[in-house]
Structure 1
Amino acid sequence: MIRPLLPLMLAALLCTSALADQPRPVVSEILTRETVALRSYPGQIAAEVETTLAFQTSGRIATRPVRLGDRVVTGDVLATLDQITLDEDVSTARAALTSAQAQLDFAQQSLTRARELQARNVASQAALEAATAQAESAEGRLRAARANLTRALDAERFGALRAPASGVITAILAEPGAEVSAGTPVLMLATDQGREAVIDVPEEVISLLPPAARFVIEPRTLGAAPLGGSLRLIEPVADKSIRNRRLHITLSPEVEPPRLGTMVDARLDQPDTPILTLPVEALLEADGVVSVWRIGADRVAERVTILPGPRVGGRIAVREGLSEGDEILIRGIHSVSEGEILGEREQ
């Protein structure tokens, strides 16, 4: 019974050896030119110039006649400080100035008498020096009183916060009754100097943008027509949480812009350009050189140096080194050697 099994075992060994000698199948990709189009990104309409408004003096806010979203014109009163307190400060400063002037007059009269008495050897030199010091001190108090009056008058004049330009109130930062100091933010004003669309895009999109990128802005409003826009600013710092970069797109002035805060979708306004791309897992990097395994004639592995372009999602654009129709190995790239014969491509 043993002898009939020997031919079967020998045949199995020969079959296994033949399979081992066959090239292993590979996972690869045939390069084709594909259209890489930037998808649209959500955003909103904002003002190109938004300014924080504050009083130039300290006080208690008495009135704030504007509300969030109100439209104002240049010179409109947006908020006022307590005028009674400001008037009282001016009256107090005037009284202090009058008192300081009277003290100076008396000190100067005393100095004149001291000089006359000292000239007749009736008063001592020490008395003259004391009178001189009192007069100089009175002059200093008078200067301080004048400065306080000037400050009080300025505060009275700056007791009304006026709109420096026409625009829309976008934020209320202080309410009536609040005590504020000079420079404390009270309101935010979005001026009419221009409107823009603000969108956030991934880092890899930045490298695909031309210097004077044009965009199509589509408001999410029923019946609203698309708008044109041009890239004004790419914020230099990415968002820490999602690593996106913010783009500011100036809207074309020919069309009336949507209202502030309108939600929009923005996409790059340029013809879609077909380019060669590769999966990032196909790349080999060593000493700053990027290469891939190309499967050449007779299924021979060839290591080819390429010039990569920008990253688009999980793929890399290829600028130089490869052509359309090349077959590139994308799995097992670290277990291949130059000149190795590779098997058929797995579908």
Structure 2
Amino acid sequence: MSVIACIRSSIVVLALFAAACDSAAPKPDRGGKDPSRTPQPVMVVTARFEDSGRIRTFAATIRPSIESDLGFRISGKVARRLVRTGDFVHSGQALLTLDTNDLRLQREQAEAEVKAAQSSLVQAEADEARATALQSKGWTTKATLQKAGATAEEARSRLVRAQRALDLATHSLDYATLEADADGVITATPVEPGQVISAGQAAVRLARRSELEAVVALPESYVEPVQRATASLSLWSLPGKTYDARLRELSFAADPATRTFAARFVIPSADDKIRIGMSATLTLREQAGRHFARLPLTAVFNHGRGASVLIVGDGGRLSERLVTIERYEDRSALVTSGVMDGESVVALGVENLDPRLTVRPVSSLSLSSADK
């Protein structure tokens, strides 16, 4: 009986061992495949290298480079205003005129003074010539001759003074018409006909159209990079049109309210489609440096050996690769080495993947310029 009992015990042990091995072995799925060898779906992104120069955009406003207040050189009463706000004017075009009644009287008075001075000069020169002839014959004294000469010299000076007064009166009459000093557009007309203004008071504001610029507010972190960046401009009204721009002026002091620095960019190729006050987008592109691949932050992990990524190779095999990070941004990391252009990088779930697994890319992520 002991031998039979031992045999039975051995049979039971062998049966239990076989059952345990059968339960531990992976069961094939309905298709007869081993689930441990089924590729696991993963989301990947394709590494694409680009220049490391950053691109930033800022809201801009079109303003004239030169906008001056024009005024009369003399005082007077405004008779007519020949332009309105928004009018395009040419150099030399009349903008406003003053009442010229008093100015005409002043010029007529100056002309009369000139005629009187000319008559006095004729009489004085005749007396001087007569005194010279008499003194040469000894019929008059030398003092009389000197007095006649002084009178003639005074008459000549009086004529010069009268002529200068006539010139001033003529100029004053010319100054009664305010003319544009350059081609441009009228942006303000603070005076109206009938108003009495003083010399130098602003009567009209003229913006020169030949020199337009884009005004932007730059943050403190971009004060230095803007010096090396290439600028371009696009109008909100014409998004498909791009204009070259060049930095002309950068404020030395920050705005006390916004803590930004005002920058002005000249638009050399400005055409008639650009109008003062328009909204635009200024794009600043830094000079290209090293090349980098932009990968999502979720693709980078560190298990103590440095920044790494998982590369999907042929047949869906994974390989861990150390990478060099130039810098991190909001949602991406700029990788300068460790991956090759065109390689597929696992974008999500890298912390939970075993590099020894076989995977199957099921989707692809693309980082556009909006993610920068």
> Which TM class, normalised by the smaller chain length?
0.5 to 0.7
User: Which 5+ residue runs of structure 2 have no aligned equivalent?
Assistant: 1-51, 293-303, 306-325, 327-335, 339-372
TM-score by structure 2 length? 0.54
8 Å CA contact 1:50, 1:191 repeated in 2: yes
Tell me by how many angstroms 1:74 deviates. Answer: 4.5
Tell me by how many angstroms 1:269 deviates. Answer: 5.0
Question: Which secondary structure state, in structure 2, belongs to the residue aligned with residue 40 of structure 1?
Answer: strand
Q: 2:148 & 2:277 partners in 1: Cα distance?
A: 70
Tell me if 1:230 matches 2:218: no
Query: 158, 162, 172: which one pairs with 2:179?
Result: 162
Q: 2:141 & 2:287 partners in 1: Cα distance?
A: 99
Q: 1:137 & 1:256 partners in 2: Cα distance?
A: 61
Structure 2 partner of 1:100: 117
1:181-260 residue pairs with structure 2 within 5 A? 181=199, 185-209=202-226, 211=228, 213-219=230-236, 224-241=238-255, 242=259, 244-250=261-267, 252-253=269-270, 257-260=273-276
Tell me if 1:85 matches 2:102: yes
Deviation above 4 Å: which 4+ runs of structure 1? 35-39, 173-176, 269-275
User: Structure 2 counterpart of 1:235, which letter?
Assistant: E
8 Å CA contact 2:232, 2:242 repeated in 1: yes
Q: Structure 1 141/174 Cα, relative in aligned 2: closer, same or farther at 3 Å?
A: farther
Q: 1:239 & 1:178 partners in 2: Cα distance?
A: 40
Aligned residue pair count: 249
1:3-152 residue pairs with structure 2 within 5 A? 39-55=56-72, 57-60=73-76, 61-152=78-169
Q: Deviations over 1:94-114 (max 9, x none)?
A: 001011111112222222333
Query: 262, 269, 277: which one pairs with 1:261?
Result: 277
Q: 2:129 & 2:63 partners in 1: Cα distance?
A: 70
Q: Structure 1 251/101 Cα, relative in aligned 2: closer, same or farther at 3 Å?
A: closer
8 Å CA contact 1:238, 1:246 repeated in 2: no
Q: Deviations over 1:191-227 (max 9, x none)?
A: 33253321121343132236461324342x6xx5254
User: Structure 2 counterpart of 1:257, which letter?
Assistant: K
Q: Deviations over 1:210-262 (max 9, x none)?
A: 6461324342x6xx525423332341542453351312141755x75343112
Q: Structure 1 97/260 Cα, relative in aligned 2: closer, same or farther at 3 Å?
A: same
Q: Deviations over 1:248-288 (max 9, x none)?
A: 141755x753431123343325799888xxxxxxxxxxxxx
Percent identity (aligned)? 28
Question: Which secondary structure state, in structure 2, belongs to the residue aligned with residue 261 of structure 1?
Answer: coil
TM-score by structure 1 length? 0.58
Q: Structure 1 69/173 Cα, relative in aligned 2: closer, same or farther at 3 Å?
A: same
User: Which 5+ residue runs of structure 1 have no aligned equivalent?
Assistant: 1-34, 276-295, 298-308, 310-322, 326-347
